[in-house]
Structure 1
Amino acid sequence: MFDIIKFFDSRGTPTICAYTKCKSDIITSVAPAGKSTGSHEVLTYPIIKGIPNIGQSFKFFKQNKKSIEQAFAFEEQEEFDSFLEELDETPNFSDMGGNLAIALSMLFLKVKAKEQNKQVFEYLNPKPKLNDLPKPLGNCFGGGLHSNNKIPVQEFLVLHNKKLISDNVKLNIDVYKAIEKDLHKRKIFFGKNDEGAITANITFNDAINLVEDAIDKLGEKSKYGLDVAASSFYAKGKYEFENKKYSEKEFISFWNDFLKKHKDVVYVEDPFFEDSFDAFAELQKKTKALICGDDLYTTNKDRFTIGVKKKSTKAILIKPNQIGTLSRMYETVKLAQKNDIDCVISHRSGETSDNTIAHLAVGLKGIKYIKTGTISGERLAKLNELILIEKLIS
């Protein structure tokens, strides 16, 4: 028995849970959803009158349920995912919806692991080692589309390099709590955004100082990064950043100067518009920091191939639901590994307790980082799963 049901994500938005009963266990797979989305992602749901319609995905599943159930008899992930592509007949899953596709694709993986009495990570990686676990990038302060403040930059991400992921998770939380304490002390009103990160109506420079002060107080060799999400404030060839407009050339200089000044910033995601391959390459050439492409690539192998040729970035964000199937995601990860480009597997702003990306992070080997928040249940579901995997491996 295979079926789908409507669940709700961390924003209270409906999403798709695919589930089945296997060896007396109920196996579920739930699709997340992004708010800051790249225009080259697959469609989350079929478009009806200009609006994504989850009901059409349920209708599609009902019409094709028998053949989908039969497809779970396939042995290989690639076979099943190819079946989904053929069933949909569009390159961006506009008929079934990318969230239905990824929910089914992840469910297939979990079923195959269960049939062999294995955890997903060990099904993918039969001999896992501690160094297969990723380092967590913890979102501790937020702006942009995820928050209701005036800071254009979307995420301020803290990073630690301890041997054990449990230690790194704890240190990220310590920085988060130090920021909370500082804001309390300064009597600055603050809240939490879509990803559970702290948000306050302060300037970008104030936020930088806030994060750096929290890191200094912790006394660890902490580093941090930014998810700029620059496409969200780009229009008509200009970047409008804190009431000032920058040309692309000026914005390259802005970030280059910033990185020279702030030596502890080791990661910058989407500092430019999603089609600006050359601007990414220019900044990456000037800095030792990891420049990472999210909206630039959308986990799409064809777009990533352009970036590889242009040497646009030294890192790529991996989001399974951006591309619709695990097989497509695997192709992109393999291309990154072939070219020594770091993979950062990531949650979405609209998340659930589904912990599949934690298993993918270990199972695929070579996933260097995981970006899945710092505090809030749906984020910690992934981090706690990694802590458990670490224990099982050790």
Structure 2
Amino acid sequence: MSVIAAVVARQLWDSRGRPTVEAEVTLASGAVGRAIAPAGASRGAHEAVDLRDDGALFGGFGVSRAVAGVAAEIAPALVGRDIGDQAAIDRALVALDGTADKSRLGANAVVAVSMAVLHAAAADVGEPLWRYLTGGRKVRVPLPEIQIFGGGAHAGRRTDIQDFMVMCPKAGSFRRALEITSDVYRTAGRLMEARGPLSGVADEGGWWPDFVSNEDALDVLTQAIETSGHRPAEDVWISLDVAANELGDASGYELALDELRLSGAEMAERVIGWANRYPILSIEDPAGQDDFATMAAVTAAIGGRVQIIGDDVLVTNAARVAAAAAAGACNAALIKVNQVGTVTEAKAALDAAATLGWGTIVSARSGESEDVTIAHLAVGWDAGQLKVGSFTRSERMAKWNEVLRIEEAMGGEAVFAGASCFAAAVAAGL
């Protein structure tokens, strides 16, 4: 394969109108790869750290220091390297930064370059990224997990639960799963408009609610599934991102909408209660980032029939996946490349989870762009699931539409992940 001839970075803008980093890698062959770093609103303490300028300009979110670091340090270190050795390039990026959390050069700079290198490698051999990643293996088209209501840090904390989503594992194809979700999304908006608790759309494009309780939101979502002409727990299931790290930790959780202060045991009991009363198939982060006991309690109680996803508790880190497994916490891992900083490290976390028999979900962040890298990672890595946000806003739809193109390109070889994407016990229940 070719060698790297140039690496440049520039400041672009994300879906919140905040600065972000785009990296562009040009090869001696003339092939080019580009990628844009995303940014999260709810962040775990253990994840990689973006480098921002602080100060008054752009509200402190400027990335001129991160861009400058690419020109001054990253580019000279990568020029001349073999583009086909992603692992070696990522190791060089990690060593060059020299911190545990990528904070010196910035995870935003490092992840943009790491992903751009991957795009350039695929372009060099003339393959779409997803196919380049397969290495000739058979892979599945992922099951989409799509937000209907946004809450928590994505919607002014109008609900304690951050994401109310839907999943359609029996849809038969990615295209059909999107069609069903479209029905539910439109119906949910009409129901909210009729009731009055509609305040626009949240960060990831889901309806911005004004519910009186978290259960009220679950009731309306269940009603939306039914009213749209689909069957709860047959055609459509609910998926929650509790994002409990935003609500507290092992010392206690604050459900402001419900006016409750809960211990870890009480938090587990409440989440288990939701799963028993509603058509819930997946729950993300029902406990804080270091509260393995509560996460394990939820997993032990309902993990045989509900996907229990670790996000802030795992932060796309293979070592934390192992620690969670040892504690009996989780049966699925969320994979966010910018959470760990490089493509290679993200793949290691995904592989660690898959080896355990867990589900794996490649995920976007709340601050996104037109970049479609994660759509290709979800397919090429055979992750089985993809979480992008809602069914509106172009930075979200770009990813969904890209998977539609990939599914079409696969033709008769396209296999929809469906229920096969879950841990064995959960899949067996479907």
SS in 1 for 2:79: helix
Segments of 5+ residues of structure 1 without an aligned counterpart are: none
2:142 counterpart (131, 134, 141): 134
> Distance in 2 between the 1:317 and 1:81 partners?
21
1:158 counterpart (166, 186, 189): 166
Q: Is the 8 A contact 1:149 1:201 kept in 2?
A: no
Q: Which residue of 2 aligns with 1:258?
A: 274
Q: Is the 8 A contact 2:7 2:70 kept in 1?
A: no
TM-score by length of 2: 0.87
SS in 2 for 1:191: strand
Q: Which residue of 2 aligns with 1:280?
A: 295
1:210 counterpart (217, 220, 241): 220
CA 1:149–1:333 in 2, change beyond 3 Å: closer, same or farther?
closer
Q: Which residue of 2 aligns with 1:315?
A: 332
How much does 1:128 deviate? 5.7
Segments of 5+ residues of structure 2 without an aligned counterpart are: 1-5, 412-430
Q: Which residue of 2 aligns with 1:370?
A: 386
How much does 1:154 deviate? 0.4
How much does 1:209 deviate? 1.1
CA deviations over 1:220-269 (Å, ceiling 9, x no partner):
3210111001111216811111211011111111112221122x101110
SS in 1 for 2:161: coil
CA deviations over 1:173-220 (Å, ceiling 9, x no partner):
211100111122234432101000101211212211110001112233
> Distance in 1 between the 2:350 and 2:157 partners?
34
Q: Which residue of 2 aligns with 1:56?
A: 65
CA deviations over 1:364-384 (Å, ceiling 9, x no partner):
12x121111222110111110
- Alpha carbon RMSD of aligned pairs, Å? 1.9
**Are 2:187 and 1:178 equivalent residues in the alignment?**
yes
Q: Which residue of 1 aligns with 2:239?
A: 225
Q: Which residue of 2 aligns with 1:382?
A: 399
How much does 1:308 deviate? 1.4
CA 1:147–1:95 in 2, change beyond 3 Å: closer, same or farther?
same
Q: Aligned letter for 1:152?
A: D
Q: Which residue of 2 aligns with 1:42?
A: 48
> Distance in 2 between the 1:356 and 1:52 partners?
23
CA deviations over 1:52-84 (Å, ceiling 9, x no partner):
762221222222254244154343110100110
> Distance in 1 between the 2:344 and 2:338 partners?
12
Q: Which shows bigger deviation, 322-331 or 87-96?
A: 87-96
How much does 1:47 deviate? 7.7
SS in 1 for 2:398: helix
2:7 counterpart (2, 15, 18): 2
Q: Which residue of 2 aligns with 1:97?
A: 106
Q: Which residue of 2 aligns with 1:12?
A: 17
Q: Which residue of 1 aligns with 2:356?
A: 339
2:84 counterpart (72, 75, 78): 75
CA 1:164–1:326 in 2, change beyond 3 Å: closer, same or farther?
same
CA deviations over 1:258-306 (Å, ceiling 9, x no partner):
21122x1011101111101121111111112111110001001111110
How much does 1:27 deviate? 3.3
Q: Which residue of 2 aligns with 1:29?
A: 35
SS in 2 for 1:281: helix
Q: Aligned letter for 2:397?
A: L
How much does 1:108 deviate? 0.7
CA 1:304–1:71 in 2, change beyond 3 Å: closer, same or farther?
farther
